[in-house]
Structure formats: C-alpha cells, structure tokens
Amino acid sequence: MSDKIDAEQFIKEELEPPSWLNSQFIGQILSEHEEASELQVIDLKIRPASFEGDHYASLMFRTTVEYTTAKGKFSKHLIVKTESEPKGPKKESHMFETEIGMYCHVLPEFERILREAGDKTKLFVPCLYHSLEPHKVMIFEDLVPLGYSLIRTRPVEKVELKTAFSKLAKWHAVSMKVIKEQPQLVEQFKYGLFDGINIQTDSFITSGIYKFIEMLDKLPKLKKYKPHFEKIKDSYLQRLKDEWLEHRENRRLDTYYVLSHGDFHIRNIMFKNNRETGVHEDAMLLDFQLSNVCPISSDLIFSIYMLLEPEQRREMGKDLIDYYFNVLLATLRSIRYQGDMPIESKFWEEIRRNKYFDFFLLSTFLPPILAVKSKSYKMHEIVPNPEICQKVYFMDTYVEDVTKLLPQFDKLGYFEGL
C-alpha cells in the first residue's frame, strides 16, 4: 500500500508546481543571471515538463516568463528541475549534488578539452541557476523552442542513435583523459544505479527475476532457459552490488574506466530535426543524476535495453557499439590521450563479462519500459501493482524480445559457469 501512496503523491507533485516556484523566485534568478536589478516579471506560466509518470526521482516544470528590464520587454522559456518533498523521514540522496557537479564543473571542462582539439560538439545545456537549500533546484534554458524534442511514439532512427552514441563516445573519451590527468575533478562521482536500489526491500527490483522465471516456465519455447535463471535467482542482485562496490573501491587493472552518464535511455535524450526538411541535426543528453566513474561497459549495456529499438537490441547493439568504439578511438587521438588505447577485443570482452547486468535489465527493467512505450500502462501504474506488473511479462513485444535475445545469450556463452 505504501508504494501506491508514494506513487500517487509523486504524480500529484509532478503535475502541480510547488508554492515557492512563483514570479518572485523566477524574477530574482533572472535578475542575478542578467545582472539587471530592475528586472520585473510581468507574467509567468508554469506547466509540467514531462508526461505523467515520466520521471521517478525529480519533478520537472516548463515555465514561460515575460519580464522587463531597462533594455525593454523580453520572454524566456525555462525548465525547472526540483526534488519531490518527502512526507516521511528524508532519504539520503546524492542525485542533485551529482548533477550540479556535472553541469557546473565537469561538463564545461569536458567541452573545453574538446574545443582545444578543434571539436565543437555540445555536450550539455548550460545551467542558469542551482541550489541545494532551502530547495534542491536547477534551472536550464528550455530546448523545445530551439527545435529539440523527446521521442515518444515512433521508433528512433539509426541516424539519431548514431548521434547519441557519438556524443557518449566523446564524453567517455574525454573522461578517460580526465581520470588519468585530473582525477580530482571526477572523484566525487561514485553514486550510481545500485546506490539507489535496496536489493533487500525494493519489491519491484527483487521480484523481477521471479516474474521472469514464471514467464519462461509458462511458455514452451522458452522453458529450456528456466534452469539457468533458477541458478542465479537468489544471488545475482547481491553479486551485481558487490561488483559495483568493487569497481568503486578496488578497480581492476583489466578494465576501461569512464565517467558514465549512468542513465543512458531514450527519455534522457532530446533530438533535433530540421523543422522544414526533417533532416536530423543533433541530439542532446540530459539528466546526469546517476553519473559515476565505472567500467565503460555500464552505459553501453544499459543502452541496449533502455535506448535501442528491438532490431538493434536483438543484435546486442553490435553495429552501434562498433560505431561508438570508432568515435571513442578517434576522439582519444584528437585530444592526445596519453594512456593505453582501448583494444577492440578487450573492449568487447569487458562488455560480455558484465552479463549479470544484462540479466538484470532483461528480467526487471525491460518489461515495464516496453509496456510504457506501447502505451499499455504508465510506469506509476506498473511499479506498485503486482497484478499489472505480472501482465507486462506476457506482452507480445516483450516475449518476442526475450525469444530473440536468449539464444544470443547462449551463443555468447552467458549461461556458462553460472
């Protein structure tokens, strides 16, 4: 019941702006940003910046503000990102501190390094304002009036995916240089996905593998794979968490480390296509609350399930990840990286070694993601409702994905030595 109450509370907050988000607050921020003490807000419109249930850790609002200064009358479109106000004991979270650090310190340095190499790639939207007290809040220029949009109801085109992977590759390449030459810049970024998951008490997370096994058992064409997942069902989450801590506290010598995006999925990328011709022009990565130093494979494995279309996922993203790797190498050369260059065979070996992350994403994250994408359910309807949660495992789109992916797992040796 508490999960349902929390979900309903979050949805209500997601649709209704907090009382402090008003003309006085926005006016003060714009006054400081534009160095215009005389600035006066004459109109402010606020509406949700996301669809119901889109975001699970932050509240997003789109504002249109009209204001005057000594120079005249102006209008500005802003995105306000803030945190849900807890009704009970406050949970420890590093998400806003992480994102503020990324936007205000790390990503500007990453872009500076690219500019020195003659690369004009834009990695982020500048943050106009940020604060942790009395409210956790960040404010950005809205990308929608600039022609960017989220992809919701259509497949992502390959050219769009290539732009997203190109930006990730350049980000990763620069982070490898920074980790080697300026490690102090990124040492604070150590809180990722598994820091926000309690593998003992989060019923949605812990039950995923059991629902997955039940699905395998009921479908004759998939039943042969059930014994593999039976072997790991009670231990694989702890193994994943242990590996996460190992990467943080005792890094392996045979692993490529990067500052990851941490949540590289379709809802965290905005795409820009020419309004007249429809030609693709750019992609902008968003939401860096889970960015952390970790193995290079983390973002890539995550993208297979959370970003790619089914046809790419069924090939384990090989073409796009190959493209990413080529951009990574080219960028490392252009920025004069002084470490050992990644070797393709070792790179793929590292991705295959993290198979338990594949198991987790396939069995737990992919079913609700496909259900939301198909408009069958909203995320806040799935997570707290065991009956609906069970249904998404038998959706045709998910069963088809699993039917194609498990033979790939077998071919790659994922079931050996479990």
Q: Is the pLDDT of residue 247 over 80?
A: no
Cα distances (angstroms) measured from residue 297 to each of 74, 169, 233, 279, 323: 46, 12, 23, 31, 15
**Which residue has better confidence, 269 or 85?**
269
Q: What is the predicted pLDDT for the residue at 10?
A: 42
- With a pLDDT cut of 70, the percent of the chain lying above it is 92
DSSP E strand stretches across 98-243: 127-131, 137-141, 148-149
Q: How many whole angstroms separate alpha carbon 240 and alpha carbon 321?
A: 23
Tokens, residue 171: 């980000």
Range in 135-149, 323-337, 374-388 the model is least confident about = 374-388
Range in 196-205, 250-259, 351-360 the model is least confident about = 196-205
Tokens, residue 285: 């990565």
Cα distances (angstroms) measured from residue 124 to each of 162, 163, 189, 304, 351: 17, 14, 17, 22, 26
Q: How many whole angstroms separate alpha carbon 170 and alpha carbon 107?
A: 11
Q: What is the predicted pLDDT for the residue at 5?
A: 37
Grouping H, G, I as helix, E, B as strand and the rest as coil, residue 235 is coil
Q: How many whole angstroms separate alpha carbon 264 and alpha carbon 253?
A: 25
Q: Find out whether 4 and 384 touch, Cβ atoms under 8 Å.
A: yes
Q: What is the predicted pLDDT for the residue at 254?
A: 83
Q: What are phi and psi of 238, to 5 degrees?
A: -65, -35
The whole-number average pLDDT for the span 226-237 is 94
Helices (H), 284-364: 297-306, 310-313, 318-334, 344-353, 355-360
Place of tokens 């809205």: 142
Tokens, residue 211: 């629902």
Q: Find out whether 365 and 305 touch, Cβ atoms under 8 Å.
A: yes
Tokens, residue 358: 């594949």
Q: How many whole angstroms separate alpha carbon 383 and alpha carbon 379?
A: 6
Q: Give the tens place of pLDDT for each residue, 341-370.
A: 999 999 999 999 999 999 999 999 999 999
Cα distances (angstroms) measured from residue 100 to each of 110, 125, 136: 15, 12, 10
**Which residue has better confidence, 49 or 138?**
138
Q: Find out whether 140 and 128 touch, Cβ atoms under 8 Å.
A: yes
The whole-number average pLDDT for the span 296-316 is 95
pTM for the whole thing?
0.91
> What is residue 125's DSSP assignment?
P
Grouping H, G, I as helix, E, B as strand and the rest as coil, residue 379 is helix
- With a pLDDT cut of 90, the percent of the chain lying above it is 74
Q: Give the tens place of pLDDT for each residue, 325-335.
A: 999 999 999 99
**Which residue has better confidence, 217 or 88?**
217
| Confidence category of residue 6, pLDDT binned at 50, 70, 90 | very low
Q: Which helix (H) or strand (E) holds 46?
A: strand 40-48
Closest CA to 351 of 255, 265, 263, 415: 255
Q: How many whole angstroms separate alpha carbon 222 and alpha carbon 225?
A: 6
For residue 240, how far is the Cα from the chain centroid? 18
**Which residue has better confidence, 153 or 287?**
287
Q: How many whole angstroms separate alpha carbon 334 and alpha carbon 341?
A: 12
Please classify residue 175 by burial: count the beta carbons closer than 10 Å to its beta carbon, then call 0-12 exposed, 13-18 middle and 19+ buried. Answer: buried
Q: Is the pLDDT of residue 252 over 50?
A: yes
The conformational region for residue 136 under phi > 0 = left, psi -120 to 50 = alpha, else beta, is beta
Q: What is the predicted pLDDT for the residue at 91?
A: 59
| Average pLDDT taken over every residue of the chain | 90
Q: What is the predicted pLDDT for the residue at 109?
A: 98
Q: Is the pLDDT of residue 148 over 80?
A: yes
| Confidence category of residue 128, pLDDT binned at 50, 70, 90 | very high
**Which residue has better confidence, 226 or 85?**
226
Helices (H), 219-343: 226-232, 236-249, 297-306, 310-313, 318-334
Q: Is the pLDDT of residue 1 over 50?
A: no
Place of tokens 């790619």: 308
Task: For the beta carbon of residue 123, count every other beta carbon within 10 angstroms.
Answer: 18
| Confidence category of residue 309, pLDDT binned at 50, 70, 90 | very high
The one-letter amino acid code at 178 reads V
Q: What is the predicted pLDDT for the residue at 85?
A: 64
Q: How many whole angstroms separate alpha carbon 375 and alpha carbon 293?
A: 34
- Is the dihedral angle over the CA atoms 263, 160, 120, 175 positive or is it negative? positive
